[in-house]
């Protein structure tokens, strides 16, 4: 066996291993770090830009359009670079450090409360562009690291479960702690009912004077995220890596070749595209729905808390559900829960008899449970797609495959982020108006938060029905890889 610079091995003995709890938790910490950045930018940035920052909704749409479609071309380049290079501390781990500090800087800079920059299209565009470029290095390397920890399929499921549990704690921060922290630091604070029987001094988080509260909250998130990246760096061990000749042979055209020959990659990639578009549509419109459609921004924190709990505490049931129901049924059920939850939220908005906190809580719970489990558990399928690709091409290109997955969900991010902003622009949304919630604005919020996500949920179910790898197929693939490593 060949020992690499990270004190790990290429070979069967160390490829099919059981991970320690420290390594599982450490790997999950990286997911939480990513969510503190990814979900904050995905769900909060447009709301911040079009309210506090004072950018017109149409200009905000163009910021998201340019940056997110830049990622469509940038991510494959990053994936090839990662696959071709090895560093002193490993192949994927070093980016947790190399990307960590720039993410801390540019993530905070997006919310920098300088009055002379307020409403500047170019400042918002350039700071977001640089952040997105750096984030690609973290995101692709972190997801590639998942495929290097072990080849054991049961261990991959366990690790993915822990990853998503801890990662969803990051979502809890974004959807619970962030709204409460920002509103608690915003101007015109009043004692308001949070929905769970206790009151807090909360202010208007859409006012220009809330800029400092947004910036302070973002600084704290970035620092916490970087500490979590360090934890992942010091606990992860790379065991399943391409050898030097495989890495040297990687080229940009491999991206297209891999996508062409890897049918599971094509199907899973399309699922990523539909599911992330669905998720980002809802997340981008969520603050608008809470603030203008429901008229209850003070409930955002508690609904976010209860809504994100299932993603933390129900994820351990995913491997059991997999054994009992099969992986496809998991996605059918979770996406159906999402659809029901969204419809309940729509009912709260439009029917007087449903306008109670318990109804809003039920809708948020079902919606978050469905999308959290569906978009979380799909990452467990990526390592088996990587292994399938290695069997077919006799070359392990985890970086390229994760770049393709990143490409798909970045397109989903682009569509999910820009559609609500263009719709708001078309409806002439103006947060500074005496009544921002015009009928046209409320209609486009419903389209973004309710109807388009429901259509995409149905499409996602159909796509997953076409996924070709059964559990028996995965076992055969792993057995073949084990045989190949024994003969090396």
Per-residue pLDDT reduced to its tens digit, 135-194: 889 888 888 887 788 877 778 778 878 888 888 888 889 888 899 999 999 998 998 888
pLDDT over 90, % of the chain: 34
In a domain, 6, yes or no: no
CA distances to 18, 124, 217, 423, 467 from 120, rounded to whole Å, are: 51, 6, 21, 21, 45
Give the pair of three-digit tokens for residue 351. Answer: 């029917």
Higher pLDDT, 342 or 415: 342
What is the predicted pLDDT for the residue at 265?
92
**CA-to-CA distance for 388 and 250, rounded, in angstroms?**
17
Q: Global pTM? A: 0.76
State pLDDT tens for residues 463-481.
999 999 988 888 888 888 7
**CA-to-CA distance for 472 and 299, rounded, in angstroms?**
46
Domain region containing 261: 17-475
Cβ-contact 279, 424 below 8 angstroms: no
DSSP assigned state of 90? B
Kindly tell me the sign of the dihedral angle through the C-alpha atoms of 246, 250, 254, 258: positive
Cβ-contact 419, 285 below 8 angstroms: no
Cβ-contact 313, 376 below 8 angstroms: no
What b/e readout covers 214-244, taking b as 16+ CB neighbours within 10 angstroms?
bbbbbebbbebbbebbbbbbebbbbbbbbee
pLDDT surpasses 90 at 410:
no
In a domain, 341, yes or no: yes
Mean pLDDT of the chain: 85
Confidence of residue 336 (pLDDT cuts 50, 70, 90): very high
**CA-to-CA distance for 161 and 176, rounded, in angstroms?**
22
In a domain, 405, yes or no: yes
State pLDDT tens for residues 262-283.
899 999 999 999 998 998 899 8
Q: CATH no. for residue 96?
A: 1.20.1250.20
> What residues does 410 pair with on adjacent strands?
none
What is the predicted pLDDT for the residue at 244?
64
Helices (H), 378-465: 382-393, 398-426, 439-446, 452-465
CA dihedral (170, 175, 180, 183) in degrees, to 10, reads 120
What is the predicted pLDDT for the residue at 248?
60
In a domain, 11, yes or no: no
pLDDT surpasses 80 at 204:
yes
Helix, strand, coil percentages, rounded to 5, for the chain: 75, 5, 20
State pLDDT tens for residues 72-131.
788 878 888 887 778 888 888 888 888 888 888 888 888 999 888 898 999 999 999 999
In a domain, 483, yes or no: no
In a domain, 8, yes or no: no
**Strands 190-193, 199-202: pairing kind:** antiparallel
Give the pair of three-digit tokens for residue 123. Answer: 């400042």
In a domain, 485, yes or no: no
Give the pair of three-digit tokens for residue 57. Answer: 């909704």
What is the predicted pLDDT for the residue at 15?
67
**CA-to-CA distance for 28 and 167, rounded, in angstroms?**
6
From the centroid of its chain, how far is CA 113?
A: 26
CA dihedral (85, 87, 89, 94) in degrees, to 10, reads -60
What is the predicted pLDDT for the residue at 182?
94
From the centroid of its chain, how far is CA 445?
A: 22
In a domain, 127, yes or no: yes
Cβ-contact 64, 412 below 8 angstroms: no
Q: How many CB atoms lie within 10 A of CB 68?
A: 23
Degrees, nearest 5: CA angle 476-372-19:
45
Cβ-contact 413, 67 below 8 angstroms: no
- Which residues are within 8 A (CB) of 92 and not within 5 positions of it... i.e. 6 or more apart? 82, 141, 142, 144, 145, 148, 238, 399
Higher pLDDT, 413 or 248: 413
CA distances to 151, 235, 391, 476 from 11, rounded to whole Å, are: 10, 20, 15, 18
Nearest CA among 417, 391, 364 for reference residue 477: 391
Domain count across the chain: 1
> What residues does 294 pair with on adjacent strands?
none
């Amino acid at each position: 066996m060949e020992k690499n610079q990270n004190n790990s091995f290429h070979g069967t003995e160390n490829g099919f291993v059981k991970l320690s709890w420290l390594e599982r938790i450490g790997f999950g910490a990286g997911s939480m770090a990513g969510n503190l950045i990814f979900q904050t930018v995905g769900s909060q940035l447009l709301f911040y830009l079009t309210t506090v920052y004072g950018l017109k909704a149409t200009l905000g749409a163009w910021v998201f359009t340019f940056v997110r479609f830049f990622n469509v071309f940038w991510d494959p380049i990053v994936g090839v670079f990662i696959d071709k290079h090895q560093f002193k501390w490993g192949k994927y781990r070093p980016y947790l450090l190399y990307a960590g500090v720039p993410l801390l800087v540019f993530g905070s800079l997006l919310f920098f409360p300088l009055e002379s920059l307020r409403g500047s299209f170019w400042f918002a565009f350039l700071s977001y562009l640089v952040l997105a470029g750096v984030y690609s290095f973290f995101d692709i390397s972190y997801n590639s690291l998942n495929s290097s920890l072990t080849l054991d399929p049961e261990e991959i499921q366990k690790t993915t479960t822990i990853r998503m549990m801890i990662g969803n704690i990051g979502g809890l921060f974004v959807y619970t702690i962030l709204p409460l922290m920002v509103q608690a630091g915003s101007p015109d604070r009043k004692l308001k009912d949070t929905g769970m029987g206790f009151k807090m001094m909360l202010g208007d988080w859409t006012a220009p004077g809330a800029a400092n509260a947004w910036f302070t909250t973002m600084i704290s998130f970035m620092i916490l995220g970087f500490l979590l990246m360090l934890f992942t760096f010091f606990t992860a061990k790379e065991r399943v890596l391409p050898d030097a000749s495989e890495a040297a042979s990687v080229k940009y055209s491999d991206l297209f070749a891999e996508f062409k020959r890897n049918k599971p990659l094509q199907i899973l990639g399309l699922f990523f595209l539909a599911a992330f578009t669905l998720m980002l549509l809802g997340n981008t419109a969520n603050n608008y729905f809470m603030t203008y459609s429901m008229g209850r921004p003070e409930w955002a924190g508690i609904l976010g808390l209860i809504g994100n709990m299932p993603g933390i505490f129900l994820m351990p049931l995913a491997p059991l559900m997999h054994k009992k129901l099969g992986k496809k049924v998991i996605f059918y059920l979770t996406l159906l829960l999402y659809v029901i939850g969204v419809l309940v939220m729509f009912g709260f908005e439009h029917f007087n008899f449903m306008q109670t906190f318990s109804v809003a809580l039920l809708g948020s719970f079902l919606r978050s449970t469905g999308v959290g489990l569906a978009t979380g558990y799909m990452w467990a399928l990526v390592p088996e797609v990587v292994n399938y690709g290695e069997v077919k091409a006799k070359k392990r290109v985890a970086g390229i495959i994760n770049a393709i997955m990143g490409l798909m969900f970045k397109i989903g991010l682009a569509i999910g982020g820009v559609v609500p902003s263009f719709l708001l622009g078309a409806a002439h949304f103006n947060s500074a108006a005496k009544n921002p919630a015009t009928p046209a604005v409320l209609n486009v919020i419903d389209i973004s938060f309710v109807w388009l996500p429901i259509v995409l949920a149905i499409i996602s179910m159909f796509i997953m029905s076409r996924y070709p790898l059964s559990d028996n197929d995965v076992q055969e693939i792993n057995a073949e890889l084990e045989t190949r490593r024994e003969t090396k």
